[in-house]
Structure 1
């Protein structure tokens, strides 16, 4: 009888083509060759309010069984209230401060410290709040040999992992952001039996900032290789002008991903350079309008995405917060130059370790990076491609990654990690 694994993640679907959700899907599909795999997820597609989009129940996606549970949405007002609670900034604190009582009451009663009620409220309102999923985990814990939980931030992991700690592998996808260091998450790295980090930078971030971290861990990430493109499936808009050299951005078009800054920098650069474009591939959450310098594709299929990446000058990733950046590694696997935000330690480390690409922290560095990429000779492009592909092949092959998961999963099944 095959061993049965549950993968718990906040969203799941072929239409969700980035971040932890894509990571979860690719890992589930790889593990399904060795284990019986169930994905436990929600009916949400949009991560802003977690509205129910998919149908409750079970479906098969690329050979993997997916069980979906409904969400209960929160309002923006409730989320703001939850944020004030965990950051110790409740509305009535302003009145207490004006009366000169806030610091006195905090010293005496610790009123700024989030209470258990504040923390519980945060988890529910941050979401996706899916109590049926948690009930399923509690009532079916003995039907699975192990659980793999994705992403420290969200309700399914932050709450669900506590009911199966000795059976849990935790993939935190942690990055240096303010919310990570708040009270709701101070003990989350001590709960699971095993932590599988994406990068050395992520492991160092966690272990240098949290007192309670389990000893059992490894670094895996995802497997990548150059993708074949079926030209029959490439779907480009008739109005898409790719006659000029172009760079690509791939991912959510979202201010949280640094897209507002990227657009501002690129618009300035394009006015100086005149004959260069930025193709932004992904769902437009910012209401960005297309112009002669910026081409928006919306969500596209993999063949279209890979076609645009292969034919681009390189990939630009402006995000300051990444725990792995799959699209960066995809670009490297294609041998493409990557240009990344220096303020993201993970992205910068990819560039340094691979000895390819560029990083920037201001417009002048951004300009130099793009100019240098455009000026590369064919011979230089070949050398960069060789180094980038070698970096990915050495550090991110599926064979090595699945072997690491097999070792971790067997340790959980054998009870090796009990007593953390």
Structure 2
């Protein structure tokens, strides 16, 4: 098939989860024998949407990329509507369209879709202009991978318009599918997509990781991702400080960056920062427990990576998706309060054989359900049937 994958940004070194997901789809579908091009904007930043990259076609790592200029919307109007949406206040359809138009609107990308002969067009995520306007431009070809979260944006009329207009929908997990049914009722043709994973290619150095970041010999709880309130990081930091006050010798290692975590080592909290995949493998191998405190996930890439590395998980029990993964795989526990958080860590540390068995169950689950072969097989079935 001749396919287009549409994502709001493609700037290596500045990719969010959705953009990395879409780019990986493009490469894997191309490797599977499809004719694929990646369509995106000239923006690098989702905060400014400035056109920082050149328009036009390029070949990057053997993948054809076409970039289109963003037409900027009204920042003041966007900010006002964003605030009202976030606080679950009423907004009109016209206001929502103007709001999403600020998030990467590239009219020439839509024109290109209308004029091209793609068999199918995969668009993600649901909350960007490239997906909204791209789906409306070619609804009969549009296969939307929503990456849906239970958040105010999911309840907008423009979101339901995307779902109702698309030829087919891809979801990351059964709980995401269930969320869409609760929000929109009967769904169009849909199937399970997801992100694909492969075992780490490098050999880990857990002892070296502990030494490099001054983590000593005590138990390590690891977090990887953005350091921000929406990901539950302040709560995790607060819980770990409470644990230290209760004389637990647990260390929290934080991979990533962001505004809501300590910028320097303090007590049992160790900000590691950005690290490459090899060092991340060592971090997972060094950790006794991987913690995913986020309440809003449609898949959780880092949870899958932790299981591939052989690390049991502890997740936010209020997140239907990660709790489902843990239940289905047996790969982790969950918490909804500090006492449950503390009890789960104590249970995993007290029984290493149980912890290892849970990690092994998580690894089997990832390789069975979210290997690239399994994911691309499912996606291809949807593309052919849509």
TM-score by length of 2: 0.89
Q: Counterpart in 1 of 2:196? A: 223
**What CA RMSD, in Å, does the superposition of the two structures yield over aligned residues?**
2.8
Q: Counterpart in 1 of 2:122? A: 148
Moved more, 194-203 or 33-42: 33-42
The verdict on how the C-alpha distance between 1:294 and 1:53 changes in structure 2, with shifts beyond 3 A counting, is farther
Q: Counterpart in 2 of 1:255? A: 229
Q: 2:101 aligns with which of 115, 124, 134?
A: 124
The verdict on how the C-alpha distance between 1:87 and 1:326 changes in structure 2, with shifts beyond 3 A counting, is closer
The verdict on how the C-alpha distance between 1:384 and 1:230 changes in structure 2, with shifts beyond 3 A counting, is closer
Q: State the 1:65 CA deviation.
A: 2.1
Given that 1:16 and 1:22 are in contact with CA atoms closer than 8 Å, whether structure 2 keeps it comes out as: no
Q: State the 1:338 CA deviation.
A: 0.8
Q: Counterpart in 2 of 1:28? A: 26
Q: Counterpart in 2 of 1:191? A: 165
Q: State the 1:299 CA deviation.
A: 2.3
Q: State the 1:373 CA deviation.
A: 2.5
Q: State the 1:173 CA deviation.
A: 0.6
Q: Return the alpha-carbon distance in structure 2 between the equivalents of residues 178 and 223 of structure 1.
A: 28
Q: 2:5 aligns with which of 4, 7, 31?
A: 7
Q: State the 1:224 CA deviation.
A: 2.2
| Unaligned runs of at least 5 residues, structure 2 | none
Given that 1:18 and 1:251 are in contact with CA atoms closer than 8 Å, whether structure 2 keeps it comes out as: no
Q: Return the alpha-carbon distance in structure 2 between the equivalents of residues 248 and 131 of structure 1.
A: 42
Q: State the 1:41 CA deviation.
A: 1.6
Q: State the 1:163 CA deviation.
A: 0.7
Q: Return the alpha-carbon distance in structure 1 between the equivalents of residues 161 and 185 of structure 2.
A: 8
Instruction: Give a deviation string over 1:306-343, Cα, whole Å, max 9, x none.
Output: 22112211211111111111111121222211111111
Q: Return the alpha-carbon distance in structure 2 between the equivalents of residues 314 and 237 of structure 1.
A: 14
Q: Counterpart in 1 of 2:368? A: 394
Q: Return the alpha-carbon distance in structure 1 between the equivalents of residues 332 and 16 of structure 2.
A: 21
Q: Return the alpha-carbon distance in structure 2 between the equivalents of residues 298 and 21 of structure 1.
A: 21
The verdict on how the C-alpha distance between 1:86 and 1:17 changes in structure 2, with shifts beyond 3 A counting, is closer
Q: Return the alpha-carbon distance in structure 2 between the equivalents of residues 296 and 44 of structure 1.
A: 29
Given that 2:173 and 2:194 are in contact with CA atoms closer than 8 Å, whether structure 1 keeps it comes out as: yes
Q: State the 1:238 CA deviation.
A: 8.4
Please show how residues 9-408 of structure 1 align to structure 2 within 5 Å: 9-16=7-14, 19-33=17-31, 34-72=33-71, 77-83=76-82, 114-116=92-94, 118-125=95-102, 127-140=103-116, 142=117, 144-211=118-185, 213-214=187-188, 216-229=189-202, 240-244=213-217, 245-286=219-260, 288-290=262-264, 291-377=266-352, 379-408=353-382
Q: Return the alpha-carbon distance in structure 1 between the equivalents of residues 241 and 72 of structure 2.
A: 37
Q: Return the alpha-carbon distance in structure 1 between the equivalents of residues 238 and 73 of structure 2.
A: 32
The verdict on how the C-alpha distance between 1:13 and 1:372 changes in structure 2, with shifts beyond 3 A counting, is farther
Q: Return the alpha-carbon distance in structure 1 between the equivalents of residues 15 and 246 of structure 2.
A: 33
Q: Return the alpha-carbon distance in structure 1 between the equivalents of residues 155 and 362 of structure 2.
A: 33
Please state whether the residue corresponding to 1:165 is helix, strand or coil.
Answer: coil
Q: Return the alpha-carbon distance in structure 1 between the equivalents of residues 79 and 365 of structure 2.
A: 42
Instruction: Give a deviation string over 1:63-102, Cα, whole Å, max 9, x none.
Output: 3222223335567633232236668998xxxxxxxxxxxx
The verdict on how the C-alpha distance between 1:276 and 1:205 changes in structure 2, with shifts beyond 3 A counting, is same
The verdict on how the C-alpha distance between 1:287 and 1:41 changes in structure 2, with shifts beyond 3 A counting, is farther
Larger Rg over CA atoms: 1
Q: State the 1:188 CA deviation.
A: 1.9
Q: State the 1:274 CA deviation.
A: 4.8
Moved more, 242-251 or 339-348: 242-251
Given that 2:233 and 2:261 are in contact with CA atoms closer than 8 Å, whether structure 1 keeps it comes out as: no
Given that 1:173 and 1:323 are in contact with CA atoms closer than 8 Å, whether structure 2 keeps it comes out as: yes
Q: Return the alpha-carbon distance in structure 2 between the equivalents of residues 88 and 243 of structure 1.
A: 43
Q: State the 1:40 CA deviation.
A: 1.2
Q: Return the alpha-carbon distance in structure 2 between the equivalents of residues 88 and 247 of structure 1.
A: 33
Q: Return the alpha-carbon distance in structure 2 between the equivalents of residues 236 and 72 of structure 1.
A: 45
The verdict on how the C-alpha distance between 1:360 and 1:87 changes in structure 2, with shifts beyond 3 A counting, is closer
The verdict on how the C-alpha distance between 1:186 and 1:17 changes in structure 2, with shifts beyond 3 A counting, is closer
